[in-house]
């Protein structure tokens, strides 16, 4: 697997310092599980973050920080009673995200978005971001949109293409209000990705805008 699109420096440094909201941290941690290059960069970012913290006064960390993610990852098996126990030999979803879902793809409870697309909202302990899995049918697009804030999209399986390039497994697209695009899944397979946003998407189609509150996108 060749990963061409990586975590930005500002996200990686914030993650290393423990100051990211939980939603962003899930995307970063999941990408790190797939990307050895960014794991090496994280070590450097932690050294930089440690240096910055040496000259600052201790401050309380928001409950929405990386500590919330770490708490999920450190749960004992007994605390996960009732979650799906069967895992694929080679899971598609990396562990940081599996711990939120309770398993691999078989644990995902998809909700239809229409035209074959589906989503699964992922609950977190904060309300500044929204986290979801998306499944885009092979060869199909999502509606054209821009962004009211930041959007991280991490491909887990399949691939998509848009105006900025091609994104395959492990690739992370980082988009903001300056980006208007229409991602389209490549024809060979459905595209399953993790999407994190901090504001509603801005769809070009008035029809999609009309149903947007119902779909929760």
In order, the DSSP letters of 23-46 are HHHHHHHHHHHH-HHHHHHHHHHH
Topology given in CATH for the domain delimited by 109-215: Jelly Rolls (2.60.120)
pLDDT band, residue 33 (cuts 50/70/90)? very high
What ranges do the domains of the chain cover? 109-215
Q: For residue range 156-193, what is the model confidence (pLDDT) as tens digits?
A: 999 999 999 999 999 999 999 899 999 999 999 999 99
Q: For residue range 34-89, what is the model confidence (pLDDT) as tens digits?
A: 999 999 999 988 887 565 555 555 555 455 545 555 555 454 443 443 333 344 35
For the record, the structure tokens of 111 come out as 């909700």
Residue 17: the pLDDT is: 87
Measured CA to CA, the distance from residue 28 to residue 7 in angstroms comes to 7
What is the residue-wise DSSP string for the chain?
--------HHHHHHHHTT-S-HHHHHHHHHHHHH-HHHHHHHHHHHHHHHHHHHTS---PPPTTSHHHHHHHHT--GGGGTTS-----SS-SS-HHHHHHHTSSGGG---EEEETTEEEEEE--S-SS-EEEEEEE-TTPBPPPEEESS-EEEEEEES-EEETTEEE-TT-EEEE-TT--B--EE-TTS-EEEEEEESS-EEES-HHHHHHHHHHT-
Measured CA to CA, the distance from residue 73 to residue 88 in angstroms comes to 19
Closest CA to 110 of 185, 192, 29, 196: 192
pTM metric for this prediction: 0.80
For the record, the structure tokens of 84 come out as 């799906």
């Amino acid at each position: 697997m060749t990963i061409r699109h990586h975590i930005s420096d500002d996200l990686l440094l914030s993650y290393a310092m423990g100051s990211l909201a939980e939603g962003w941290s899930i995307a970063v941690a999941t990408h790190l599980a797939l990307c050895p290059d960014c794991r090496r960069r994280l070590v450097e970012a932690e050294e930089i973050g440690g240096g910055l913290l040496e000259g600052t006064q201790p401050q309380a960390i928001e409950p929405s920080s990386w500590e919330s993610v770490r708490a999920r990852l450190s749960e004992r098996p007994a605390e996960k009673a009732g979650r799906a126990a069967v895992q694929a030999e080679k899971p598609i979803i990396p562990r940081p995200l599996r711990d939120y879902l309770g398993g691999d793809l078989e644990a995902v409870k998809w909700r239809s978005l229409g035209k074959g697309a589906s989503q699964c909202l992922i609950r977190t302990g904060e309300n500044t971001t929204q986290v979801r899995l998306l499944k885009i049918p092979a060869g199909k697009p999502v509606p054209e949109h821009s962004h009211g804030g930041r959007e991280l999209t991490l491909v887990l399986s399949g691939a998509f293409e848009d105006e900025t390039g091609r994104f395959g497994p492990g690739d992370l697209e980082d988009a903001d209000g300056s980006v208007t695009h229409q991602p389209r899944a490549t024809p060979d397979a459905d595209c399953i990705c993790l999407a994190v946003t901090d504001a509603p998407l801005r769809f070009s189609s008035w029809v999609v805008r009309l149903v947007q509150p119902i779909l929760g996108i």
